Amino acid sequence: MTEMRRLDIAGGVAGLRAAGDQARGFLGTDPVTQNDALLGSELTRIGAQVYGHGDTLLGYLPNVDQPRQAYLASTSSDPDALRLFTAFLGTYQRCTSYVATVPADSVAVGAFDACGFRRIGMLRDHQYRSGRYHDVVMFFATGEDVCRS
């Protein structure tokens, strides 16, 4: 649990900037189209928290309508970082279920697939970048799903 470190807004922005393309769509942000000031104000506005685990950035956003549910984001394909993060959120934020919207061609898709998340939908042509519209995958998992994976 101690391997997960909370980043302040400036640290989160610097991490997203460094992650570049892998951070596109991270909790709805985009370092390619948003400058540091806008990234910071967006993370603040939506109430996002950014954590670091090794080279991976992980994002947490509480669902205000269901406080035990969290929206998640990751910048890497590492399932261990994501598994550790959900355990961390289960322990410290009492989260019991998780939702993520991940660009279909993002490296993070692999992490969610390998971590017990189910693909519960596909948002067609949902996100515009690099000259065309891209699909976005919706993932869902309970804490138990992730533990079993």
- Given the complex with other proteins, which of 40 and 143 has the nearer CB atom? 40
Minimum gap (Å) between residue 47 Cβ and other proteins? 19
Minimum gap (Å) between residue 114 Cβ and other proteins? 30
Minimum gap (Å) between residue 50 Cβ and other proteins? 19
Is 93 a binding residue for other proteins by CB under 8 A? The answer is no
Instruction: Count residues near other proteins (CB under 8 A).
Output: 11
Site for other proteins in 2-61 (CB under 8 A): 32-38
- Given the complex with other proteins, which of 119 and 129 has the nearer CB atom? 129
Q: Which residue has the tokens 């000259």?
A: 131
Is 131 a binding residue for other proteins by CB under 8 A? The answer is yes
CA dihedral 95, 149, 138, 88 (to 10 degrees): 30
Minimum gap (Å) between residue 19 Cβ and other proteins? 15
Is 123 a binding residue for other proteins by CB under 8 A? The answer is no
By CB atoms closer than 10 A (0-12, 13-18, 19+), residue 2 is exposed
- Given the complex with other proteins, which of 23 and 81 has the nearer CB atom? 23
**Residues near other proteins (CB under 8 A):** 32-38, 128-131
